Chains A and B, each alone.
Chain A
Amino acid sequence: MGLNRRNFFKLVTAAGAAVAGSDGAAHAWQSRAPSDSVGCLVDLTRCIGCRKCEEACNRVNRLPPPDRAFEDLTLLDKKRRPDERTYTVVNRHVSGEIDARDQLVPTFVKLQCMHCQDPACASACIVGALTKKENGTVHYDVSKCIGCRYCMVACPFEIPAYEYHDPITPRVMKCTFCYERVHSENKLPGCAEICPVEAITFGRRSDLIDAARQRIKKNPGRYIDHVYGEKEVGGTSWIYLSGVSFERVGFNALPETPIPRLAESIQHALFSYLWSPIVLFGMLGGVMWASKDKRDRSGNGKKGGGQ
């Protein structure tokens, strides 16, 4: 069994060394975020929960009509998530804060695709149907999609939804950042255009971060000192300002490391230029050749079952 064990050991250590080596390679990982991406700043202290953005989104993206009218604000009694018929939803959170008349102050939170700077979905997508465009949009190309739903596994915001009830041509559904309107028609995204209280500001991402910092500086009592999306998962194109802790209004704490970094570093360390398969092929070929010799010498060579 000596030879047997030794060779297995070689194989396993080779793989192990390669994985261990990825620690060093992790530093070589480069963000592929576009330098000049656009974004939206959502100011939660301004949002009044009118659901006009939901209505505009539905209209400009030609989504199916909703079950209940957009004017119906009782929908806010229940927490909702974006789904395959709705790219964006507004939820009402009650953080416990009370106003001068002892009334609970609600915080309204608009949810949609965050358009990450280094999107996990685009890194994961088997066919590259999801891509980060130059202007910052995370774009979905249905003509490439095979429906594996790995993007949905990867997304840290649980955003992409799926048309599970379409048997043959289901699509991944998520906010498009109104790519055609913004990129070709020079218009605002539907939601940002309609917002009656300027809770959604569209602009260059770097300018929006400066603007957010300015608002916090000018009004430190109104805001907490945190721009959600500035650093989370390496940065997102949609960023948020809030008067209460983000954790209390439905945001989850996320690492500052871009989500794809570890997986991409390991894949790169193991398979760049296909070095490891080539080395393994050579090693196994050598072992096979050597043991074939031995077999012939000892004269017990017998044509193998698979050969």
Chain B
Amino acid sequence: MTHYAAPIKAKFWTPGVVVLAVLMAAGAAAIAARFIGGIGYVSNLTTARPWGLWIGVDVASGVALAAGGFTTAFLAHIIGRHYYEAVVRPALLTAVLGYTFVVLGLLVDIGRSWAIWKPMLYWNPTSVLFEVAMCVMLYLNVLYIEFLPIVVERFKGRVKLPGLLAVLNGPLDGLLKLADTVLPKIMWFFIIAGVVLSCMHQSSLGSLMLIAPTKLHPLWYTPMLPLLFLTSAIAVGYPMVVFEATLATTSLKLDGEMNILTPLTRVTLFLLGLYLALKVGDMVVRGTYVYLLDFTAQTNAFIIEVLFGVIVPWLMLLSPKLRRSRRALFIACTMIVGGVLVNRINVFVVGYRPPISEANYFPAIGEVLVTVGLIAALMFVYRFIVTYLPVLNKPEQEVSA
């Protein structure tokens, strides 16, 4: 099986991209409002509900759904399954963009965006958030280094800057050639570091809520939260690759890559099953199943999360026939991705009930616009990068031609 990534030769400004640009403009307006009138001007956040949509979706879900990056790096480069090489670059790009937008989301959410560097100077080792922040910062740099070879491959020997900048052509090309010699020799370190850093902060994102035992609903509050966050992040890695590859190859009319995606999701059966077993086991051991028939917003959200986000797609993946069907596999993987998304929203927003003020929270239109705008911007930049850099696989016919 040969694999050959190349820039996509397709029109950039399709109607879909125009829609993305409109959503980005709406998000930009909401972000401008946040930096003029304050967080309170665009959001429904309060004393009792300090974290809302931005932390639940932009940050927590953003990190979880970028897990395709380290799980594919593990598969193709650590245990050497080169058969899956074709999905590594798109997954890596998703992770690079995912984490970049996590940081952008954080810049909107934290009150003093200009002070975001301060945790590097003032350390608080007892803080789970401090550890998460350090890991995310380091991992973002690791991801950029892992992505460098793609940039080098595209521009090495082809640096042609216009006008006066032309004097830089020589030195820049030298730099790229140097990177091309050095990077392959040291990349092993960054690949392993990426997996280690991911395991650390994916789990610690779960530990974050252990500081709120009186606030988080018992269906989610468990000492197992870090393990559940880690296993669900690992389990969602390959389904996210399928989700993203199917969307990209469909919209750009490329080869569907089912010969890779079908075997890739076989291991998901085990990983998602493990997550399900841990989650159900935890519920049985702690006896929290007594809440299941409460019919409150919390318990309903939990049932939806586990039933449609884990159990149904797991049963679907059990069937080899469904795994080979492009449509069925896409549906199952979308449900798994949605399940992890709902889980993160549940832990950080829906399941969070301050017992004294019993304050409710529903995201304001401004918060929704910021989140939608950031996701649209992520997709826009993804589309831009795959158009100009060798990330996605060339269609088969062009390879043979």
The residue among A127, A150, A305 with the most chain B CB atoms within 10 A of its own CB is A305
Known: A291-B79, A303-B184. A168 touches B126 (CB 8 A): no
Cα–Cα, bound, A157→B114 (Å): 29
The answer, among B47, B127, B224, for a CB contact under 8 Å with A162, is B47
Q: Do B226 and A19 have beta carbons less than 8 Å apart?
A: yes
Q: Do A288 and B211 have beta carbons less than 8 Å apart?
A: no
Tell me the number of A-to-B contacts counted with CB atoms below 8 Å: 259
CB-defined contacts of A144 to chain B, threshold 8 Å:
118, 122
Q: Do A165 and B214 have beta carbons less than 8 Å apart?
A: no
Q: Is B203 an interface residue (CB 8 A)?
A: yes
Q: Do B227 and A125 have beta carbons less than 8 Å apart?
A: no
Interface size class of A (residues with CB under 8 A): 35 or more
Q: Do B76 and A304 have beta carbons less than 8 Å apart?
A: yes
Q: Do B50 and A153 have beta carbons less than 8 Å apart?
A: yes
Q: Is A211 an interface residue (CB 8 A)?
A: no
- Near A by CB (< 8 A), chain B positions 205-244 give 207-215, 223-224, 226-227, 230-231, 234
- Near B by CB (< 8 A), chain A positions 144-170 give 144-150, 152-154, 156-158, 160-170
Q: Interface with B: A59-67, A70-78, A197-205, A253-261, which one?
A: A253-261
Query: Taking CB as reference atom, which chain A residue is nearest B224?
Result: A19
Q: Is B58 an interface residue (CB 8 A)?
A: no
Q: Do B51 and A12 have beta carbons less than 8 Å apart?
A: no
Cα–Cα, bound, A168→B39 (Å): 9
Q: Do A165 and B37 have beta carbons less than 8 Å apart?
A: yes
CB-defined contacts of A162 to chain B, threshold 8 Å:
39, 45, 47, 50, 111
CB-defined contacts of B193 to chain A, threshold 8 Å:
281
CB-defined contacts of B48 to chain A, threshold 8 Å:
81, 158
Q: Do B38 and A146 have beta carbons less than 8 Å apart?
A: no
Q: Do A158 and B357 have beta carbons less than 8 Å apart?
A: yes
Q: Do B214 and A307 have beta carbons less than 8 Å apart?
A: no
Looking at the assembled complex, report how far the CB atom of A226 sits from the nearest CB atom of chain B, in whole angstroms: 18
Mark contacts of B366-391 with chain A using CB atoms, 8 A cut-off: 1 yes-contact digit, 0 otherwise: 00000000000000000000000000
- Near B by CB (< 8 A), chain A positions 1-58 give 1, 3-5, 7-8, 11-12, 15-16, 19, 22
- Near A by CB (< 8 A), chain B positions 27-48 give 34-41, 43, 45-48
CB-defined contacts of B116 to chain A, threshold 8 Å:
146
CB-defined contacts of B109 to chain A, threshold 8 Å:
148
Q: Interface with B: A99-107, A235-243, A294-302, which one?
A: A294-302
CB-defined contacts of A84 to chain B, threshold 8 Å:
47
CB-defined contacts of A81 to chain B, threshold 8 Å:
47-48, 357
Looking at the assembled complex, report how far the CB atom of B90 sits from the nearest CB atom of chain A, in whole angstroms: 10
Query: Taking CB as reference atom, which chain B residue is nearest A7?
Result: B79
Q: Do A165 and B196 have beta carbons less than 8 Å apart?
A: no
CB-defined contacts of A8 to chain B, threshold 8 Å:
234, 267, 270-271
Q: Do B112 and A153 have beta carbons less than 8 Å apart?
A: no
Mark contacts of B110-125 with chain A using CB atoms, 8 A cut-off: 1 yes-contact digit, 0 otherwise: 1111111011011110
Q: Is B266 an interface residue (CB 8 A)?
A: yes
Q: Interface with B: A175-183, A185-193, A216-224, A264-272, which one?
A: A264-272
The residue among B110, B146, B187, B355 with the most chain A CB atoms within 10 A of its own CB is B110
Interface size class of B (residues with CB under 8 A): 35 or more
The residue among A4, A254, A276 with the most chain B CB atoms within 10 A of its own CB is A4
Cα–Cα, bound, A281→B74 (Å): 12
CB-defined contacts of A276 to chain B, threshold 8 Å:
200
Looking at the assembled complex, report how far the CB atom of A24 sits from the nearest CB atom of chain B, in whole angstroms: 13
CB-defined contacts of A291 to chain B, threshold 8 Å:
78-80
Q: Do B112 and A168 have beta carbons less than 8 Å apart?
A: yes
Q: Is A113 an interface residue (CB 8 A)?
A: no
Looking at the assembled complex, report how far the CB atom of A204 sits from the nearest CB atom of chain B, in whole angstroms: 26
CB-defined contacts of A300 to chain B, threshold 8 Å:
82
- 13 more CB-based (< 8 A) A-B contacts, given A12-B234, A22-B223, A167-B36: A8-B234, A8-B271, A15-B230, A81-B48, A145-B115, A149-B45, A149-B110, A164-B111, A264-B126, A266-B210, A300-B82, A304-B88, A305-B88
Q: Which A residues have a C-beta under 8 Å from some C-beta of B?
A: 1, 3-5, 7-8, 11-12, 15-16, 19, 22, 81, 83-84, 120, 123-129, 144-150, 152-154, 156-158, 160-170, 250, 252, 254-255, 259-260, 262-264, 266-267, 270-271, 276-277, 280-281, 284-285, 287-288, 291-292, 294-295, 300-307
Q: Which B residues have a C-beta under 8 Å from some C-beta of A?
A: 3, 5, 34-41, 43, 45-48, 50-51, 73-82, 85-86, 88-89, 92, 109-116, 118-119, 121-124, 126-131, 133, 146, 149-150, 183-184, 187-188, 191-193, 195-197, 199-200, 203-204, 207-215, 223-224, 226-227, 230-231, 234, 263, 266-267, 270-271, 274, 352, 354-357
Give me 30 A-to-B residue pairs in the complex whose CB atoms sit less than 8 angstroms apart, sorted by A's number. A5-B267, A7-B79, A12-B231, A12-B234, A19-B227, A123-B211, A126-B130, A145-B111, A146-B119, A148-B110, A153-B50, A156-B212, A156-B215, A160-B47, A162-B111, A164-B39, A169-B112, A170-B112, A250-B356, A259-B213, A262-B223, A264-B126, A277-B200, A284-B195, A287-B78, A288-B188, A305-B88, A306-B73, A306-B92, A306-B187
